[in-house]
Structure 1
Amino acid sequence: MAVGRTGGTVIRGAGTALRVVIAVQQAGKYASAASGDTVEVVQRPGSALSVLLVDGQGSGPGAKALSLLLTGRAASLVRDGARDQTVLDSAHDFLLAHRNGLVSATVDLVTIDPVASELRIARHALAPAVVGDDVGFRMTGPVSGPIGRWQVEPAATFRTGIVAGTTLVVTSDGVAHAGDRRGGSPLDLAHALTAAGLAGATPGEIGEFVMGLARDRDHGRPADDMTVVVVGVRADADPDRSMTMRVSLPVTKRGSQ
């Protein structure tokens, strides 16, 4: 299964009007009944938006149930206006208390905050995150281990200004480790995006490239659930200042092949 989604929200400023575009690409593990990754876009009080990416341990229906549960709890805190770290800490405490340290999950929380004029990432994830501009892409910094274990690392954080051309890319570990089981070299996502000349490309184009690259590294049969979230800030000359969202997903009837 593959899912694609794009959406945009407008940011007004003293200069050129900007639009933040969110693109999501998702594919389940080959021959698995359900993806263990869940993505949700959540409106915060005021004008801010957050994107949650939760990757439940394993794959299939059990992992999906876990990621849906954690996403729901985290999203409710985001809607209440909780700080990024509070959201992650609460998700960790909940999972630890209910699964006794036996089950883990990774969480990425990307926030678009027009009031502070910044993009933020707070995450417990081992898959590297990438930031780009009109020149190229680079890693956002250190990574952090998953939530749900008795020993948990501090969340990895990154922030940058809302500037035209800025792009953030986060993925689940199915993308980061694509090709590993076949003896391939580790995926250097920042280098791959820069080499492909995607600096300044649309978030949708970037998301499609990353997903296509990951699937190719697994020879079209993803070894794990794959999700790509791209958040891009672009100059906006469109007189229609509304927020839009488009979702595209395949539908298979029960019992069909």
Structure 2
Amino acid sequence: MRIDVAWAKIPKGGFGESGDTIELVERPLGGVSLILADGQGSGPAAKRISRLVSMKAVSLIADGSRDGAVARAVQDMLYTAREGRVTATLVVLSCDMHTNTVVIARNTPVPVLIRQENVVFRLEGGSEVIGTYRKTRPAMTELPLIPDTILLTFSDGVINAGKRFGKSLPWDMIEQELKSLEVKDLEEWVNDLMTRTLALDKDRPSDDVSIVALGIRSDVQNAIRTLSASIPY
């Protein structure tokens, strides 16, 4: 199998730095985890929160902790460090080659869209943001790791895009696109979804916008690993 990862992000209009943090980490027993953390607010203060959260998650995953334990430990760390005064959302999308499963850990009101075996469905509800309550726990989902699976999630800037103009993304259409999407085209599709999201706010987003996706496809002939990035400064 081959794991494809794609993401796109942009800060809130008028801010030079996004309050969202995205990280990719290899799992020590095989596979990868894709992390999206969204700090409370926008700008540098939110970035400090999301980076604190994401770096803790990266460290724990790299040490071999399981995703549920990672999310709980990150929640406890943020609650203790900021005395319950700040919040963040956290999503961890993992392909675990040791267990041959896809694992999703959610502490966010934003859904995770999943395409598996030509069916698109949502994971939503049942989870709370981290940082406010001592006993907050993640919503956990484990699925078989099979080719042609796609996981998609985003920050709330995507959900809220266009609201001030009375518009929103056509989610029924997006789910249909996801149903027929080739995993090899994941990066191009994510970039196009970002373009459509920004257009709803006339290219000046009212919140930080991040889109992350992870796909699994069959590939038994090529052992080369590649990674590309395009980062403005």
What TM-score do the two structures reach when normalised by structure 2? 0.91
Indicate the residue corresponding to 1:244 in structure 2.
226
Indicate the residue corresponding to 1:215 in structure 2.
198
Q: Deviations over 1:126-145 (max 9, x none)?
A: 11110014635221243522
Q: Which amino acid aligns with 1:117?
A: N
- After TM superposition, give the deviation of residue 121 of structure 1 in Å: 0.6
The 3-state SS of whatever aligns with 1:122 is strand
Q: 1:135 aligns with which of 99, 104, 118?
A: 118
The 3-state SS of whatever aligns with 1:175 is helix
Contact 2:114 2:150 in 1 (8 A): yes
Cα gap change, 1:210 to 1:143, in 2 (>3 Å): farther
The 3-state SS of whatever aligns with 2:46 is helix
Q: Give the root-mean-square deviation of aligned CA atoms.
A: 2.0
- After TM superposition, give the deviation of residue 119 of structure 1 in Å: 1.1
Q: Which amino acid aligns with 1:56?
A: G
Q: Which runs of 5+ in 2 are unaligned?
A: none
- Tell whether 2:71 aligns with 1:88: yes
- After TM superposition, give the deviation of residue 76 of structure 1 in Å: 0.8
The 3-state SS of whatever aligns with 1:106 is strand
What percent of counterpart residues are identical? Answer: 32
Contact 1:127 1:143 in 2 (8 A): no
Indicate the residue corresponding to 1:200 in structure 2.
181
Contact 1:146 1:152 in 2 (8 A): no
Paired with 1:32 and 1:173, the residues of 2 have a C-alpha distance of 17
Q: 1:95-174 alignment to 2 at 5 Å?
A: 95-133=78-116, 135-150=118-133, 153-174=136-157
Q: Which amino acid aligns with 2:232?
A: P
Q: Which amino acid aligns with 2:166?
A: G
Cα gap change, 1:100 to 1:220, in 2 (>3 Å): same
Contact 2:88 2:131 in 1 (8 A): yes
- After TM superposition, give the deviation of residue 192 of structure 1 in Å: 2.8
Q: Which amino acid aligns with 1:112?
A: C
- After TM superposition, give the deviation of residue 27 of structure 1 in Å: 0.9
Cα gap change, 1:88 to 1:246, in 2 (>3 Å): same
Cα gap change, 1:197 to 1:66, in 2 (>3 Å): closer
Paired with 2:115 and 2:192, the residues of 1 have a C-alpha distance of 15
Paired with 2:153 and 2:24, the residues of 1 have a C-alpha distance of 14
What TM-score do the two structures reach when normalised by structure 1? 0.83
Contact 1:47 1:113 in 2 (8 A): yes
Q: Deviations over 1:135-192 (max 9, x none)?
A: 352212435221000266532222222222110001111112212233335x464x23
Contact 1:171 1:228 in 2 (8 A): yes
Q: Which runs of 5+ in 1 are unaligned?
A: 1-17, 252-257
Q: Which amino acid aligns with 1:105?
A: A
The 3-state SS of whatever aligns with 2:213 is strand
Q: Deviations over 1:95-141 (max 9, x none)?
A: 11121211100001111112221111101011111001463522124
How many residue pairs are counted as aligned between the two chains? 231
Paired with 2:192 and 2:82, the residues of 1 have a C-alpha distance of 36
The 3-state SS of whatever aligns with 1:245 is coil
The 3-state SS of whatever aligns with 2:223 is coil
Cα gap change, 1:188 to 1:104, in 2 (>3 Å): farther
